[in-house]
Amino acid sequence: MKNPLTTLKGFIQLMQENRYDQSFTPVMLNEIERINQITNEFLVLSRPTVLSKDWYDFKKLFVEIEVIFSSLAISKNIEIIQTYTDIPRIYCDGNQLKQVFINIVKNSAEAVGHNGKIHLKFQSYDEEHILIRIEDNGKGFPNHILNKVGQPFVTTKENGNGLGIMVCKRIIETIHFGQLNMYNNESNGAVVDIILPYAAK
């Protein structure tokens, strides 16, 4: 939270010196939004979680957030490919998993830039688990931070804070007793593997 507060402080000091410029306003609003986002992510990490688990069909789950993915694809001409194999329903909190998938796909969309590709694969991992793989053709994770991804304030984004991935890991690993793994593929694109149990825990 330090960087947006520093920016706001600097602009307020300029305003006190009667050196205000209209161009400051959108920047200040953007920094306030960043503070709001960081605060919300800390709240998700700190508060007790109220679960609403039920049996979900993953195809239906992704249809419900298809509009968000489509808007990402259209705005940056990104190709989003979804591949399904026959998989049973899974007992989960659908809304929390939507949050995870939206966060990760948005990260991929930022990484690949215009005309990139994101591939979402859904398949059985073993008799008790499902594998969701989100793979892109961006630049991947830098090697020097790959093992630290998911820690607070470790991020590849210029204005990122790393808390979004922390929230994702908490939802997958602590709430759903699954695994969230990140690595680079042979082409140096980023891969996020999510492994979830089918049955209730």
Mind listing the pLDDT tens digit of every residue in the chain (201 residues)?
446 667 777 777 777 777 767 777 777 777 777 676 666 656 555 555 556 788 988 778 877 787 777 877 887 889 988 888 877 888 998 888 988 998 898 888 888 878 899 999 999 899 899 999 999 998 888 877 777 666 655 555 555 555 678 888 888 998 899 999 999 988 889 999 999 998 855
Q: What is the pLDDT of residue 196?
A: 94
- Interstrand relation of 129-136 and 117-126 (parallel, antiparallel or unpaired): antiparallel
Contacts of 17 (CB under 8 A, 6+ apart): none
Q: What is the pLDDT of residue 201?
A: 56
Domain ranges of the chain: 2-46, 54-197
- Please say whether the beta carbons of 169 and 157 come within 8 A: no
Burial 61-72 (b: 16+ CB within 10 A, else e): bbeebeeebeeb
Q: Indicate the pTM of the whole model.
A: 0.71
d(CA 60, CA 13): 51
Q: Which fold is adopted by the domain 54-197?
A: Heat Shock Protein 90 (3.30.565)
d(CA 190, CA 136): 6
CA 161 → CA 29, 53, 75, distances in Å?
18, 29, 24
- Please say whether the beta carbons of 127 and 185 come within 8 A: no
d(CA 50, CA 172): 15
Q: What is the pLDDT of residue 1?
A: 42
Burial status of residue 91 (CB atoms within 10 A of its CB: 0-12, 13-18, 19 or more): middle
Residue 191's CB is within 10 A of a number of other CB atoms, namely 17
pLDDT digits (tens, 9 = 90+) for 44-92: 555 555 567 889 887 788 777 877 778 778 878 899 888 888 778 889 9
